[in-house]
């Protein structure tokens, strides 16, 4: 199996700061973490195959964070983008959403609180994009909204209105570590490999490419600034795509029985 070069993945990792440490601890969302020694620690993607993705979705059905994991798998959105998503960003009529913010960790000088989470703009302008939502994910979001409205009524005066799609019982944003913990529990329940949450992003891209979706479409979905990044990161999918392409070319152009007879007649 081929894996992407260091430069390509390092470029796509929003969690890597200049000091070389992850600034967003969402399940090791970075593919490479640079230690203080300057060495690079590789974290290869481990995408789910189609059967595993189906198992994950089936296991998540009826789970409180079903919509979160479904949307992650359907769109390839990063953890910070998902927990910063607001209802105002979703257009149910067109079946689209806008990625306009992320939730990022900011250090503080308070001794009892090392950091806080704040809304910020996505890393690149390309990351601010409009994303089509698959119908199965859109249905999960609609059901999730009903459950959230019920929780809001139950919370009463303790509810804090921030318009977050995925939030606590009081309306505040979810912590990335909580998302990871819930994801790990779901994986265990489903009997799936212990992958990172960020691997849902890789799963979305790999599944789309393996289904023959044009890399340009996948690039736009993931918010990569250049298509070369997409091609480098997911180069392990290309051999299968080439084989499929040659099969289709062969089917279209190969001689069929009777062709020689028609030509000679």
Whether 208 contacts 218, CB under 8 Å: yes
Catalytic (active-site) positions: 78, 112, 198, 201, 224, 234
The set of residues, in sequence order, having a beta carbon less than 8 Å from that of 196 and lying 6+ positions away, is 27, 28, 29, 43, 46
The set of residues, in sequence order, having a beta carbon less than 8 Å from that of 219 and lying 6+ positions away, is 226, 227, 229, 230
Whether 221 contacts 75, CB under 8 Å: yes
CA 164, 142, 90, 45 torsion-angle sign: positive
The set of residues, in sequence order, having a beta carbon less than 8 Å from that of 29 and lying 6+ positions away, is 13, 14, 15, 22, 78, 79, 80, 196, 197, 198
- Distance between CA atoms of residues 53 and 59, nearest Å: 10
Q: What are phi and psi of 106, to 5 degrees?
A: -120, 125
């Amino acid at each position: 199996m081929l894996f992407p070069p260091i430069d390509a993945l390092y470029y796509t990792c929003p969690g890597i700061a200049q000091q070389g440490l992850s600034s967003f601890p969402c399940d090791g969302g970075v593919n490479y973490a640079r230690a203080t020694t300057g060495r690079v620690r590789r974290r290869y993607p481990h995408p789910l195959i189609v059967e595993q993705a189906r198992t994950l979705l089936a296991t998540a059905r009826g789970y409180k964070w079903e919509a979160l994991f479904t949307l992650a798998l359907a769109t390839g959105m990063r953890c910070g983008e998902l927990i910063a998503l607001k209802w105002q960003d979703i257009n149910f009529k067109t079946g689209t959403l806008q990625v306009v913010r992320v939730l990022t960790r900011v250090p503080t000088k308070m001794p009892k609180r090392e950091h806080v989470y704040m809304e910020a703009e996505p890393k690149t302008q390309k990351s601010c994009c409009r994303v089509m939502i698959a119908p199965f994910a859109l249905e999960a979001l609609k059901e999730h909204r009903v459950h959230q409205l019920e929780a809001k009524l139950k919370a009463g005066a303790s509810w804090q209105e921030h318009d977050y799609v995925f939030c606590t019982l009081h309306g505040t944003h979810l912590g990335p570590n909580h998302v990871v913990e819930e994801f790990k529990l779901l994986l265990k329940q489903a009997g799936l490999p212990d992958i990172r949450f960020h691997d849902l992003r890789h799963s979305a891209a790999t599944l789309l490419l393996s289904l023959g979706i044009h890399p340009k479409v996948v690039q736009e979905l993931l918010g990569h600034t250049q298509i070369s990044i997409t091609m480098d990161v997911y180069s392990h999918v290309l051999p299968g795509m080439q084989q499929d392409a040659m099969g289709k070319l062969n089917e279209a152009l190969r001689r069929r029985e009777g062709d020689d007879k028609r030509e000679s007649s």
